[in-house]
A = this chain, B = another copy of it.
Amino acid sequence: MGRILVALGGNALQRAGDHGTWAEQVAQMRLTARVLAGLVAEGEELIVTHGNGPQVGTLLRQNEIAERELPARPMDVLGAETQGQIGYLIEQELTAALVQAKAPRTVLSIVSRTVVSPRDKAFAHPSKPVGRYYTEAEARTLRKREGWQMEYDGARGGWRRVVPSPLPRRWIEGDALRKLLPRGWGAHIVPVVTGGGGVPVVERGRGMFEGVEAVIDKDRTAALVASALDADTLVILTDVPGAAVGYRKSWERWLGQVSASEIRSYLRRGEFGGGSMGPKVEAALSFLQAGGRRAIITDPPSLGRAIRNETGTRIVPD
């Protein structure tokens, strides 16, 4: 048995077609929690992290709609709020599922900050769309008034704000946790950390961290956290059972166990696309590079079998 960090994608919390109600998020998380509790019941030590895309989108929009009456809060603050929201949801559902699975643990959600470099090239090339779609006239106004970078999305025929997506360098709260937690903590707690990749901050001086309007890829931070807390397996949970070459083409082939160098060659020839699977494979590779033993990409229903190396894409060192 080992120590596993599971990174929950958006679909672990919200299904396509959902209206974004709290009841829907609860129902979806309940299913995921059962799967996670199953791992713990089989003797695995568990760490959880999660995305926050739809949730932070909702908060951005609420702030926008209410702006005439109530001052809007910056994006780093909204990110922290989603950590509270989703951290609470995971505490609630996973606590219950763990008791049901006869493997009670205290689920402990920690408000997490992630340091990024102010010299990260991403700051010169904002690329990550956030929030809603705007008309061209609105986009022009926002560019001028807020200094936002706006990008046209041809597929949806609208403009969106794009923000930088810098690489995570350090999870601030991690050093202390690593030092303080006694051996065998996995028998008592399940930490929930760096939600949404962690609140992005830059270090302006020793101990002086400043929140920035950016988005950190939650899987990249997950790789960092998995290393920091000595997890041997990193699981990236998404809405497909694994990674495929020739995805949705006639020669489509799902990847099972695959070496780091093999999947890196697929990545380099553009098999996985920039927006979806590519960054997950990159995060998996960065975990192995830092000494991780296994990275798994799969969906919640397949997770139990993937851990036993029976399904899903399992990436292992060369």
Residues of A bordering B, CB below 8 Å: 19-22, 58, 61-63, 65-66, 69-71, 73-74, 76-77, 80-85, 87-89, 91-92, 95-96, 98-100, 104, 106, 108-111, 113, 172-173, 175-177, 179-182, 185, 188-189, 192, 199, 201, 206-209, 211
CB pair A74 B22 closer than 8 Å: yes
Closest B residue to A100 by CB, please name it.
Answer: B207
Give the residue of B77, B98, B175 whose beta carbon is less than 8 angstroms from that of A88: B77
Q: Which residues of chain B are within 8 angstroms of A74 by Cβ–Cβ distance? A: 22
Chain B nearest CB from A297 CB (Å) reads 28
A208 CA to B93 CA, complexed, in Å: 8
CB within 8 Å for A77 and B73 given contacts A106-B173, A189-B176? no
Q: Is the CB of A96 within 8 A of B209?
A: yes
Q: Contact between B99 and A111 (Cβ–Cβ < 8 Å)?
A: no
24 example contacts (A-B, Cβ-Cβ < 8 A) are as follows: A20-B70, A21-B71, A58-B70, A62-B63, A77-B85, A80-B85, A80-B88, A81-B81, A81-B85, A83-B84, A84-B84, A84-B85, A91-B173, A98-B207, A99-B206, A104-B207, A106-B172, A106-B175, A108-B173, A108-B176, A108-B177, A110-B111, A111-B111, A180-B182
The residue from B73, B108, B181 contacting A110, defined by CB atoms under 8 A apart: B108
- Quick check: B98 and A111 within 8 Å, CB to CB? no
The complex is assembled from copies of this chain, and their number is 2
Across-interface contacts of A19 in B (CB, < 8 A):
71
Within the complex, what minimum Cβ distance (angstroms) separates A74 from chain B?
6
Q: Are A110's CB and B113's CB within 8 A?
A: no
Residues of B contacting A91 in the complex (Cβ-Cβ under 8 angstroms): 111, 113, 172-173
Given contacts A65-B69, A95-B209, A96-B207, 7 further A-B contacts (CB under 8 A): A22-B74, A58-B70, A62-B63, A77-B88, A84-B111, A91-B111, A179-B188
Asked if B188 and A180 make an inter-chain contact with CB atoms under 8 angstroms apart, the answer reads: yes
Q: Assess the B61–A66 pair: CB atoms within 8 A.
A: yes
B77:A22 contact, CB within 8 angstroms: yes
Contacts of A76 in B (CB 8 A): 88
Contact between chains at A71 and B22 (CB < 8 Å): yes
Closest to A85 in B: B81
With a cutoff of 8 Å between Cβ atoms, the chain B residues found around residue A84 in the complex are: 80-85, 87, 111
Contact between chains at A209 and B173 (CB < 8 Å): no
CA of A21 to CA of B71, assembled, Å: 6
Q: A80-B88, A96-B208, A209-B95 are in contact. Are A180 and B181 (CB under 8 A)?
A: yes
Q: Which 10 A-B pairs have the closest CB atoms?
A: A84-B84, A99-B207, A106-B176, A80-B88, A109-B111, A87-B111, A65-B66, A81-B81, A62-B66, A21-B71
Q: A66-B66, A69-B65 are in contact. Are A207 and B176 (CB under 8 A)?
A: no
Q: Which chain B residues border A180 with CB–CB below 8 Å?
A: 180-182, 185, 188-189
